[in-house]
Amino acid sequence: MRFLIIHNEYSVRGGEEAVVEFQKNLLELHGHHVTVYRRSYAEMGSWLLGKAGGMFTSVFNPRSLRDLKKLCNHNVFDVAIVHNVFPVISPVVIPFLKGRGIRVLQVLHNYRLFCPVGTFYRDGHICEDCTGKGREWNCFRKRCTGGAVSALSFAIKFRLVRLLNYYGDVDSFLCLNARQADLTGRYLKASDKVRILPNAVKVSEGERRQASQRKYVSFVGRLSEEKGFFDFLKIAAMMPDCEFRVGGGVECQLKCGNTLQCGLLRILEGRRAQGALCGFAGRFGFEQMV
């Protein structure tokens, strides 16, 4: 089969970029032909309106349509796998692909279709306000992005995206878990289109054997509040006899009111800047970091 993978890369490489590469390699390993259409946050640096232009291109970007039309004129695709399309590509590509007779699969990496900031998290607690009364305007009212102007921009563009119903042309939504699948089915009225497809990672037989012999609890991901990192630390504090390990990028903006004693905490991967790591360790009062 011939696949077209579409992804708007973030300013900093993260999990979604890793998933796109893994998916591409896996499909090619099984004999499929894969073309990747990528665009990046970095493009906005050269735009006349800069990042403000993202408010418009999130809703409609004619260049993305021209690029895909050219691609489709020179290639035949059976399936398009759409990942992130904000803020450069725009979901306007979905009805275009559907109109070309291409099956469209939308991979949902976050909650962006229901929550403008994509996290369902605000002010230290889970927030699903944008699924209820007022919908996206709650993002502006509660300043979910920090400032009034940026919050208004997010509220407007994602409200327009919803009202234009671009995602109505998706054939299948690929969700990471049952919770996301339930939300997608209910709020997009697409229960018959929802499939659960967790992220995967390539593990060699040797790595598999080593993993079975390891005796520790691990956290892998961005070390941020909405990812549950503070919950991980609290659990570690209650289990001083167990070894806890962390792998992920450090966010220097982390805040915590409690000093947590975790026994031994090892940073396996992540940002290697000494200042950032030392500041992170000191903020939580860790006795030892390797």
CATH of domain 2-196: 3.40.50.2000
Whether the CB-CB separation of 61 and 90 falls below 8 Å is answered with: yes
Q: How far apart are CA 244 and CA 236, in angstroms?
A: 7
Q: How far apart are CA 89 and CA 64, in angstroms?
A: 6
How does the average pLDDT of the chain come out, rounded?
83
Q: How far apart are CA 1 and CA 257, in angstroms?
A: 53
Can you give the pLDDT at residue 161?
A: 94
Strands 121-122 and 103-107: unpaired
Radius of gyration from C-alpha coordinates of the chain: 21
pLDDT, one tens digit per residue, over 137-185 is 999 998 998 889 989 999 999 999 999 999 999 999 999 999 999 999 9
Can you give the pLDDT at residue 181?
A: 95
pLDDT, one tens digit per residue, over 14-46 is 889 999 999 999 999 999 999 999 999 889 888
Can you give the pLDDT at residue 184?
A: 93
CA-based nearest residue to 108, from 21, 42, 172:
172
Is the pLDDT at 193 greater than 90? The verdict is: yes
Q: How far apart are CA 12 and CA 224, in angstroms?
A: 15
pLDDT, one tens digit per residue, over 233-259 is 888 888 888 888 777 766 544 444 433
Token pair, residue 245, equals: 């390990």
| Residues 278-290, mean pLDDT to the nearest whole number | 37
Can you give the pLDDT at residue 229?
A: 83
What is the DSSP track for 143-172? TTTSSHHHHHHHHHHHHHHHHHTGGGG-SE
Phi, psi of 16 (to 5 degrees): -65, -40
Can you give the pLDDT at residue 283?
A: 39
Is the pLDDT at 107 greater than 90? The verdict is: yes
| Residues 203-230, mean pLDDT to the nearest whole number | 79
Can you give the pLDDT at residue 238?
A: 86
The domain spans of the chain are 2-196, 206-284
Residues 6+ apart with CB under 8 A from 22: 200, 201, 202
Phi, psi of 90 (to 5 degrees): 85, 140
Is the pLDDT at 266 greater than 50? The verdict is: no
Q: Which residue has the higher pLDDT, 232 or 283?
A: 232
Q: How far apart are CA 51 and CA 40, in angstroms?
A: 12
Can you give the pLDDT at residue 80?
A: 98
